[in-house]
Amino acid sequence: MNKRGKFHLAILLFSILILIIVFFIFLATRPTTFDSPAPQTLENCHTIKADNSNGIDFVFLTPDKKTAEEYTDFILQTTPYNEYSDRLNFRYVEAPDAPCNVYRNIALLCDDPKINELAASCPHDFIMTIKKGQSHLRSSALKNSMSIVRESAMSVVTHELGHALVGLAEEYTPASLSRDQENCKSSCDFGELGIGCSIGCSEADFYRSSPNSVMRTLSSNDYDPYNTAIIERYLEENTQPISQGITGSVISPIIDCKNEKYYEIIYDPKSQQTISSIKTGCAPKKGGQGPDSTILISENGDSIYKTQYLLTLFTESQGEDEIEGEIIELENLERQIIFTIPKISEVKNVEISKDQIPIIQLNLNEVGALACIV
């Protein structure tokens, strides 16, 4: 190699050395990202049927449109929902990867902040997450959220709706008798609606109103008359028939969840700690029936509205003859529970109670506005 060649080689090696040094400086001085929450974006909300602004809003989180339509048709063919089809609204969000959890290796439990964020894309009172490929797990219901194993009998939806809407107790045995339930009695006191009073209803010495309702076995899709009447009463009290304008045309509810805000409260039953924040989207405005509640309180201490439900986790799958399952009360729930509350300007405080005893009391004005010490 001549002198000139050596000179070029030296420059080349020197340049490569400089390049390597510069590259490492670049890596070292890259800005670190702030630990701030990612901006929340809502998903597309698809409407299957939603023509009653005074109805109950259901949102499906499903792998696809076909599944959502299939479950909607199934519910609307089931008594008593078939009689109230004009009071039930159904929407869906395509969520093939809905982030569900597995509870104690036995049950599907879709009650995650991300699930609530997906549901927030649509107006909703109740959430039904349908998850494929989980046939080894039980379906479940907790508060207003139902987690359905796609491979289970369709009647599991009817069963979970019985828990979520009106707090019906399990009619199989053995099971824990759920709080404030109406369908299991200590005597055969079902009046004319009893169609074959049978012993065994959660507990061995309680009675059920019929031999084999859907609350006892998934081989049935009937609540049977006594339980049907409980659901009909709930639907009568919490919905109204479609309102029509002077011209007779149907007034459709148009709610854009992008313009709505809600409070998300994550509660840990073990530590009794809460984490709260404000998010964009829709939150439930109607509850079910039960001894537990969310009460929104105004600046002057008036209760603005109350949502009721049951803070109990029901898990179930079909056994040999009847359902097999487990009931877990809030205090034994080994995980956080999420409450979502619509942001209403005149509301100051929220009180979340179990059996009328407050477990969470929050000044909502401070949510997302409590400065941290730095």
Q: Which residues bind another protein (CB under 8 A)?
A: 4-5, 8-9, 11-12, 15-16, 18-19, 22-23, 25-26, 29-31, 34-37, 275, 277-278, 363, 365-366, 368-374
Smallest distance from another protein to CB 197, Å: 53
Q: How many CB atoms lie within 10 A of CB 101?
A: 13
For another protein, the closer CB: 29 or 249 = 29
Smallest distance from another protein to CB 258, Å: 13
Burial (CB count <10 Å: 0-12, 13-18, 19+), residue 336: middle
For another protein, the closer CB: 11 or 251 = 11
For another protein, the closer CB: 250 or 275 = 275
- Partnered with residue 141 across adjacent β-strands are 146, 314
Give 6's DSSP letter: H
For another protein, the closer CB: 254 or 370 = 370
Smallest distance from another protein to CB 369, Å: 5
Smallest distance from another protein to CB 364, Å: 11
> In 3D, which of 57, 65, 97 has the Cα closest to residue 238?
57
How far is Cα 330 from Cα 355, in angstroms, rounded to an integer? 11
CA-derived radius of gyration, the chain: 26
Smallest distance from another protein to CB 148, Å: 30
Q: Is the peptide bond before 80 cis (omega within 30 degrees of 0)?
A: yes
How far is Cα 144 from Cα 59, in angstroms, rounded to an integer? 11
> In 3D, which of 100, 169, 126, 212 has the Cα closest to residue 314?
169
For another protein, the closer CB: 254 or 372 = 372
| Beta-carbon contacts of residue 152 (< 8 Å; ≥ 6 apart) | 135, 139, 218, 317, 318
What stretches of 167-293 show up as alpha helix (H) in DSSP? 225-238
- Is the CB of residue 143 less than 8 Å from the CB of residue 105? no
Pair of tokens at residue 261: 């805000």
Smallest distance from another protein to CB 117, Å: 13
For another protein, the closer CB: 204 or 371 = 371
Smallest distance from another protein to CB 98, Å: 22
For another protein, the closer CB: 30 or 66 = 30
- Is the CB of residue 59 less than 8 Å from the CB of residue 257? no
